[in-house]
């Protein structure tokens, strides 16, 4: 976990804004079909303890149950994909692209690589996993 100063993030239109107060996990890039659909490419996210994710504006926030285990948070106004929340976990995934300014984070793994799209290559460096 990386200890960072407080970071802020938002959707594209600003109807969802939040602060991350706690340590953040390095970014994981998920290439599964659900993440590709929801993001339009692949989903890159850090994660933070549930209590350290503080919504400062949630007027646009809506949740979609993407499976029995997880739901995805997005802005109903502008469509930004923001959160991935698995039931029973104390961590919430937060889209790395939604963060404001320099995050100080690095991508340390690619997961569900066998499900990736055929139109791009995964850059060398971070570890690659077939599943997770
Ligand atoms: Zn928005
Ligand atoms: Zn995924």
pLDDT in tens, 56-94: 999 999 999 999 999 999 999 999 999 999 999 999 999
The DSSP letter of residue 123 is P
Sheet holding 53-57, edge to edge: 7-10, 17-20, 53-57
For residues 71, 126, 23, 7, the Cα torsion angle rounded to the nearest 10 degrees is -80
Ligand 2 centroid to 115 CA: how many Å? 9
* pLDDT tens sequence across 84-120: 999 999 999 999 999 999 999 999 999 999 999 999 9
Residues forming a β-bridge with 47: 93
* Closest to 80 in 3D by CA, of 67, 65, 99: 99
Residues lining ligand 1 (ion), CB within 5 A?
11, 13, 15, 60, 75, 77-78
Q: Which ligand is nearest to the CA of 59?
A: 1
What residue segments make up the domains of the chain, in order of their start?
Answer: 7-128
pTM for this entry = 0.93
Task: Say if domain 7-128 classifies as CATH 2.170.150.70.
Answer: yes
- pLDDT, one tens digit per residue, over 10-42 is 999 999 999 999 999 999 999 999 999 999 999
User: Which structure tokens are listed for 30?
Assistant: 């998920």
For the residues of 25-65, what is the DSSP string, one character each? Answer: PPEEEE-SHHHHHHHSS-EEEEEEEGGGEEEEE-TTEEEEE
| CA 123 – ligand 1 centroid, Å | 30
Residue 125 CA, ligand 1 centroid: distance in Å? 33
CA–centroid distance, 58 to ligand 1, in Å, is 10
Identify any residues that bridge with 24 across adjacent strands, giving them in sequence order: 2
């Amino acid at each position: 976990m990386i200890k960072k100063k407080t970071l802020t993030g938002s959707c594209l239109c600003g109807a969802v804004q939040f602060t991350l107060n706690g340590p953040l996990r390095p970014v994981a890039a998920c290439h599964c079909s659900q993440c590709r659909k929801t993001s339009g490419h692949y989903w890159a996210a850090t994660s933070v303890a549930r209590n350290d994710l503080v919504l400062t504006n949630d007027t646009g926030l809506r949740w979609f149950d993407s499976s029995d285990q997880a739901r995805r948070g997005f802005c109903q106004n502008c469509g930004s994909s923001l959160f991935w929340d698995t039931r029973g976990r104390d961590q919430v995934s937060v889209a790395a692209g939604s963060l404001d300014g320099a995050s100080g984070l690095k991508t340390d793994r690619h997961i569900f690589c066998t499900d990736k799209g055929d139109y791009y290559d995964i850059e060398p460096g971070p570890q690659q996993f077939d599943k997770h």
